[in-house]
Structure 1
């Protein structure tokens, strides 16, 4: 088995473990977009410290772990920053429309057999596939 597959498996296990710990510790679903959204729109003032710590850990942990275990890591991300920014904004809008993201609907929702999480996951995977076909194969942007 290729190491990339093993690293993907390890990453998936860590995300699932993080979701379980968050649910057991807080009694809430680990939805990153909802946690960040509560900081941005002010609805999460009561738990702002917890939310900020979660987002900081979400960003810092992969950076630290990749520096320790995979300092030579490369990505195939486009060099066109306009595409990266547009993609980020579209993902943000999509998570607000869907009332959740891949961690909330995909990881936590499917593991709880939530019909809403399963349906949302099916639709955002299909939308992502369609956008890949459109932007890579038809428009040649990425």
Structure 2
């Protein structure tokens, strides 16, 4: 077992939880990334964009700060020291996958951060159902791509 990676995951999970609690406590808002981005793009509600932009800047800058301090991005590729490799299925497949994720967050009224982190913590029945669907879909997708199609990704 890689204790360093486990410790990093634990610390990351605690920080995600703390940021979600802080956002709920300070602003009464759910830390759902799809909602934060969606409402920032559509500018709904008016005058509510400063915290959304700050949250997203923090979300993106965190890994950049870790990299600048000499840390890597964790276990994202097989080569030690590598940043992020090329998309395993190619750029067109990655774009299609991104669009499907966006469609799914719209249909599910949220994403894994909103439902899985915040909704489950609030014991939301809707979030429990959504998170279950996310997990089942992920399991089926991995099974189909690795065992039926043979992608080995």
Q: Give the corresponding residue for 1:113.
A: 123
Query: 1:44, 1:140 → 2: CA distance?
Result: 46
1:106–1:118: 8 Å Cα contact kept in structure 2? yes
2:17 counterpart of 1:11: no
After superposition, what is the alpha-carbon deviation per residue over 1:48-94, rounded to whole angstroms, capped at 9, x for unaligned? Answer: 12211211111111221243252374523644222322222221111
1:31–1:105: 8 Å Cα contact kept in structure 2? yes
Q: Give the corresponding residue for 2:135.
A: 125
Q: Give the corresponding residue for 1:95.
A: 105
Q: Give the corresponding residue for 2:55.
A: 54
1:39–1:45: 8 Å Cα contact kept in structure 2? no
Q: Can you give the 5+ residue segments of structure 1 that lack an aligned partner in the other structure?
A: none
> After the TM superposition, which residues 2-41 of structure 1 pair with which residues of structure 2 at under 5 Å, given as runs?
2=2, 3-41=4-42
2:95 counterpart of 1:85: yes
2:5–2:74: 8 Å Cα contact kept in structure 1? no
* Alignment RMSD (CA, Å): 1.9
Query: 1:106, 1:75 → 2: CA distance?
Result: 22
More helix by share: 1
Query: TM-score of the superposition, structure 2-length normalised?
Result: 0.82
Q: Can you give the 5+ residue segments of structure 2 that lack an aligned partner in the other structure?
A: 78-84
2:63–2:73: 8 Å Cα contact kept in structure 1? no
Query: TM-score of the superposition, structure 1-length normalised?
Result: 0.88
Q: CA deviation at 1:10?
A: 1.2
Change (3 A) 1:69 1:14: farther
Query: 2:141, 2:45 → 1: CA distance?
Result: 32
Q: CA deviation at 1:44?
A: 3.6
